[in-house]
Amino acid sequence: MQLVQDRFGGSAQIALGRFVSIRDEALFMWWVYSTALIGAVIGFGLGWRVISRERRPSRSNDTLLSWTEQPVSVWRQDWKAALFITLHSASVVMLATLFLFDPSWRERNHSLFLLDATPYMSLAEQSRFHQTLYLLATCGLGLTWVVSGSILAFPVATQLIRPITISVVPTGVVRGPYLWTWDDLSHFGVYPRARLIRVYSRRTPEIACMAWQPPNEDVFHQAITLLEQHLPPGPPHIATPWYRRRSMLAGLLLFVITVPFVSGGVSVYTLAFTWAWLYYTFVTPLVLVLGGRVFRQV
């Protein structure tokens, strides 16, 4: 009889332990997903605020011509540059997604670190060690999704926050709150069928930095007349430095920043390294920062 009770009691304890373990794992995964969601919402709000600020019109007393228009899509502004930007943005979101679904979150018997020091610790120290590492990992997850949320906000905000104000002043062009002086600009191109004007930067004359689509033909022709007083209607015959050419910027963005870091992220995910959280935490913001430095050359 005692033997039956011991067996029954032992089985009940095992079942209870499994139930508690499953419940704890479910609560932990809920915490992980909630952290990513909260980070994405915060990042989305930050990205929305940036676009709202860019679309806010500025006032000038010496405006020569001013109009409001629906913002031109980045794909119509310069589709090759838009493609590179999209690939870069997708790489950041992909790294954050790999982090969210990394197997280490569920394999809680690991230390989430390259070296497992727990065999040399007491049970209480092991518990604190694991809790500290999981806390750091979830903070890193939140950071990566703040970054991703800000990126995801841009295509949505640029479509919903309308219109944008463009003004031509004696010193240059004001787009939203920002002034592009004539010295910042290289040339412009006109596309009458689409009533489209593309303006190019002096730093990278191969990439359009702005695209306008005035609301009517009258404003369209007035804008062209004012641009002709300061900029040539075609690319200048000046050699562009090799490090500012479109091909160089594209190669730098893809083969130095995007592809290597994403390949590393896929590798640590596939191999299920327990220290993968360190990689994602530092690399995801790094890819964003490095890509931003490349885009500033435009």
- Helix 276-296 to helix 123-160 angle, to the nearest 10 degrees? 30
In 3D space, the residue among 218, 216, 220, 212 whose CA is nearest the CA of residue 173 turns out to be 212
Q: Are 197 and 211 in contact (CB under 8 A)?
A: yes
- Helix 123-160 to helix 2-54 angle, to the nearest 10 degrees? 30
What does the pLDDT read at residue 4?
Answer: 40
Q: Are 191 and 285 in contact (CB under 8 A)?
A: no
**Domain coordinates of the chain in residue numbers?**
25-296
Which of 6-10, 144-148, 230-234, 252-256 has the largest mean confidence?
A: 144-148
Residue of higher predicted confidence among 228 and 257: 228
Q: Are 211 and 198 in contact (CB under 8 A)?
A: yes
Query: What's the pLDDT tens digit per position in 11-64?
Result: 444 443 443 344 467 787 888 899 999 999 999 999 999 999 888 877 767 889
Q: Are 223 and 169 in contact (CB under 8 A)?
A: no
**Confidence category of residue 170, pLDDT binned at 50, 70, 90:** very high
Query: What's the pLDDT tens digit per position in 225-237?
Result: 999 999 998 887 7
Q: Residue range 60-81: average pLDDT?
A: 87
Mean predicted lDDT score pLDDT of the chain: 82
Q: Residue range 248-261: average pLDDT?
A: 84
**Confidence category of residue 121, pLDDT binned at 50, 70, 90:** low
The rounded distance, in Å, linking the Cα atoms of 131 and 135 is 6
pTM of the model: 0.81
The rounded distance, in Å, linking the Cα atoms of 212 and 190 is 10
What does the pLDDT read at residue 125?
Answer: 66
Query: What's the pLDDT tens digit per position in 259-277?
Result: 999 999 999 888 877 778 8
What does the pLDDT read at residue 265?
Answer: 92
Query: What's the pLDDT tens digit per position in 176-221?
Result: 888 999 999 999 999 999 999 999 988 888 889 899 999 999 999 9
For 175-206, b/e burial (b = at least 16 CB within 10 A) is: bbeeebeeeebbbbebeeeebbbbbbbbbbbb
- Please say if the pLDDT value at position 108 is more than 60: no
